[in-house]
Structure 1
């Protein structure tokens, strides 16, 4: 096994499970190990106290005359760029985030002698993210150039600004070159999938549209840090003749039906609140963590970079497990399976066009929780979230784990995933993110 490079200041040994019998989480699975979804019963463990991002901690500079701090300004510029000119595929947009902010993290990691630290790092971050975004979203060049000018106008002219911009742009060019041909463009991500003949347990296109399978190409895309796409492939889903499978199906049949008589109004709201893109739903929680960290500009850049690197690699690993097992969705299992088939059963929400196991929403949630807990602490002062799929609804949270728990329940209440698929997703996302954190130093070293 290759030697891991741990990012200085991230103390992996401080991660802990809430119960003494959960020590299996303290050691990441070996490469190629198949990880059973039962390791996360009933849900993701809470990580330990926040680990520092770097040995030297600096407090973010206060904004001048009400100016938004540089890292937050460029975070918002990235989010706006993705919202208005992003790709049609979530992982492609995650890649854009990862490229720009990885370049920023490398560019701000060290400061040359003889220049103002704050000015240099602000210029380096702006130079890196600006260069990456105008390259990947050229239709937004005018708006990004204006934001870049605004940032530089607020930095005193001189060597710190000039050298910071230069290193940021250089690191962006290096990361961009390293990701050419990585298989994460929309066409490659949605490569055609040869549907297998209908058989018990085997995925088939689902109603009402019976659309072709999506994200099949993710499974062969180039990760940022994983050695192979299958490095953390999950153990198989529950057997069709198992009690766990029967319980899963009974739960989603009852609680996930469009006309469910047992799902509460709050549970329906949960399903609808978490229905949209995970990238969209987690943009605000990450911003909350970014705005509340006291790690300085370099630490802020690392937080965003590692979050999105972990999420790209998690989405690749998700498709690897999905298409390794090709498990049918609940709507297919309930309508055509051997357990009390019901041809008229309809889920609350339309089933996405890819296999059930694991849930992509919960792999995303597991990875996001792991990174945020490690780099910003598992708890936060209360923060409010809204959802584009639940207009008028605002929910308040104090831990990242609450987001994960709601994602697990939401996919069952929507009628589109089994609980086993959801819990397995938490396991997979957690394992990938912990690996990324453990080997972060290898990724973040400037080139």
Structure 2
């Protein structure tokens, strides 16, 4: 009952060779330049809420993908698409992160310096500015600003299975406002609402709780050193942790500027809509976190039980890390294939640790285990989260033609 399904997978993983470099390009990649510029912009001056930063990525790169989709006759295609992408992402980021205008303007000048002056550059810049204005206007008032995302939530009275603020901070609930935000593609936040979590008197619930009790406690004697490393590695922001895997996929893509911009746009649009759907299910069911269940529940209560990591301030079901992972895997597998040459990944919450991967599913599998090993989610919350993320991402992919016009 306590067996951790992916333990054997993690133990069996072997050290892979160094990542294979992307093929050289005839000139510096404007797509990668602006990917890195977007990442630096958000790292330096992003919002305090992850979904708001995902929205910044989605808006900027949706504008970029749209700007380069139709190339006017009589101009160089590559020059036009490079100028259009840079202009769209630049204009969007200046509007959304104005404190970085100086740095963004400098990056834009560097891009234009590498494109021959003439109609292709001029018309590409105009197209990018036009699409940025259009996408920004379409997302006005979508409820994904930090104040709306973290709208106040009234905690219900304590009862078996019902979420309560968790130790040590007992902080107010976060991300409640996501469930009423406007998605990019979903018809409504509850379009893919999950079925209810396992009943408190079910065998699955008892199994879930026993697993996290044994493997997720701070002083666990069952958790191996490698498993503790897994918990630490995936503890941070999903957006931060997946920035490099997406860049790897982007750098190895042989697609056009438009196709590569589409990859980034759809990845982040799926991420935003998945985070909205996640909060819908979380606050529909209000399932308590393991620390509350173990300390105060009816099954062998232990008031001193403490998880390896502090529990985030929102309900257990489903796991947001795993909805993000499921959506990411679905988009990357659909647009780049399920496997890739080996690549290395580091994490800000596991200093000095480098892990190597050759497929997108392994990232998901480690996320599932990590939240149990951290003591902050049940396996049901994790596995249901992956399924939800995949459903939302598949729907976004199906709507991509309409989305990108």
Aligned residues of 1:60 and 1:295 also touching (Cα < 8 A) = no
Work out whether 1:221 is the aligned partner of 2:184. no
Structure 1: runs of 5 or more not aligned: 1-41, 44-58
1:159-238 superposed matches below 5 A? 159-238=119-198
Displacement after TM superposition at 1:60 (Å) = 9.3
Separation in 2, partners of 1:440, 1:132:
20
Separation in 1, partners of 2:23, 2:74:
20
- Give the aligned partner of residue 377 of structure 1: 337
What do the CA deviations read for 1:26-85 (whole angstroms, capped 9, x no partner)?
A: xxxxxxxxxxxxxxxx89xxxxxxxxxxxxxxx999243xx3x10000000000000001
Work out whether 1:316 is the aligned partner of 2:279. no
1:72-221 superposed matches below 5 A? 72-221=32-181
Aligned residues of 1:60 and 1:296 also touching (Cα < 8 A) = no
- Give the aligned partner of residue 282 of structure 1: 242
Separation in 2, partners of 1:351, 1:61:
44
Displacement after TM superposition at 1:290 (Å) = 0.3
Match of 1:182, SS state, is coil
Work out whether 1:295 is the aligned partner of 2:295. no
- Give the aligned partner of residue 27 of structure 1: none
* TM-score normalised by length of structure 1: 0.85
Separation in 1, partners of 2:202, 2:255:
49
- Give the aligned partner of residue 439 of structure 1: 399
Match of 1:383, SS state, is strand
Match of 1:169, SS state, is helix
Displacement after TM superposition at 1:112 (Å) = 1.1
Match of 1:395, SS state, is strand
Work out whether 1:366 is the aligned partner of 2:326. yes
Q: Which runs of 4+ in 1 moved over 6 A?
A: none
Separation in 2, partners of 1:165, 1:254:
58
Displacement after TM superposition at 1:109 (Å) = 1.2
Separation in 2, partners of 1:358, 1:208:
22
Match of 1:385, SS state, is strand
Select 1:338's aligned residue among 298, 314, 317.
298
Aligned residues of 1:82 and 1:93 also touching (Cα < 8 A) = yes
Separation in 1, partners of 2:268, 2:399:
15
Displacement after TM superposition at 1:262 (Å) = 0.4
Match of 1:332, SS state, is helix
- Give the aligned partner of residue 62 of structure 1: 25
Displacement after TM superposition at 1:430 (Å) = 0.3
Q: How many residues align?
A: 386
Aligned residues of 2:23 and 2:252 also touching (Cα < 8 A) = no
- Give the aligned partner of residue 53 of structure 1: none
The CA RMSD over aligned residues, in Å, is 1.2
Aligned residues of 2:56 and 2:96 also touching (Cα < 8 A) = yes
Structure 2: runs of 5 or more not aligned: 7-21
Separation in 1, partners of 2:233, 2:122:
45
